[in-house]
Amino acid sequence: MNTRLKTQKLENYPLKEHTTLKIGGSASEAYIPETVEDLYELKSALSCENLTIIGQGSNILVSSQGVNESVIFTQKLKNYELLDETTIKAECGLKSSMLAKILLEKNLSGLEFLIGIPGSLGGAVTMNSSAHGQAIEDTIESVKVFDLCSNEVFTLDKSQLKLGYRDSFVKKDKHLVLSATFKLKNDSQAKIAERMDFHVNYRKERHPSLSAYPNAGSTFRNPCPGVYAGKLLEELGAKNWEAGGAAVSDKHCNFIVNTGNATSLDASRLMYKMHSRIKETYGYDLIAEIRYLGEPTQEEKEIWQNFTVH
């Protein structure tokens, strides 16, 4: 334990069970702060250049070789408060699905789609998550951000976030979403619940089950409006393509599932095949929606250069 800090230092900490894909080696050191204040204290003692932040681990592929950087988990930063009848502020570690349930209890509409998102609110804001006509950008008012390099805390309004398709200002820079404020609309619980049921049922019918088939969500961004990566891959016959312990889901071809003992190299090789075949056939140069963390092999490094935004 690091006696200088309130947050315990966990050495050689296994990351596999902290990701929905169930892939990953160990972190040389990891921390799980209980409060935002603990996070501030912790960050002041760590280097910005050697730091990785993980929420619920839903859109990441962690290297099987492990992570040499310090890892901070935000999962315990999950407080929220109702600022007025239709405005809520929530911390980054709150599960997206839990926020949706809280809003249902409060008769507040606008983020029903979060019921089907397995990650944390911080990730949803950073990625500008969306589904079926609803998006983070529709209701967000502001975000409290922590600059991990300068240790400054500041607030960004919606325009400053530069929200786009699976993109934001936060994603491009070394920043951490601490909390987000949303302006919602009153509606009946029955109508909100009906919309939430639609999102849940849609995912059950069309997406692989996380409990049965560990996955990291959509593998690639859709190349342009109205064109879907999963549909293109299905046309290519990608269902059940395999690479070691990784396979393309037979429910949705833009999902890679861990069939039992997949490594980060297995998943990377399969992503490369998916990316290459689409580029060769349709000309689209897909961008990965999944983020790679940790120490890549040389082959993984070369693979990820093909579909990562630099």
Closest by Cα among 167, 163, 153 to 40:
153
Catalytic residue check, 166:
yes
| Residue partners of 137: CB distance under 8 A and separation at least 6 | 128, 130, 158, 161, 163
CA distance 226 to 213: 27
| Catalytic residue (one of 29, 112, 289, 300) | 289
| Catalytic residue (one of 58, 166, 195, 268) | 166
Catalytic residue check, 218:
yes
Tell me if 11 sits within 8 A of 28, measured CB to CB.
yes
CA distance 99 to 212: 24
Indicate the burial class of 82 (C-beta count within 10 angstroms; 0-12, 13-18, 19 or more). middle
- The full length of the chain comes to 310
Structure tokens at 122: 């911080």
CA distance 289 to 100: 23
Three-state SS at 237: coil
| Catalytic residue (one of 26, 218, 249, 268) | 218
Catalytic residue check, 195:
no
Tell me if 30 sits within 8 A of 10, measured CB to CB.
yes
Catalytically active residues are 166, 218, 289
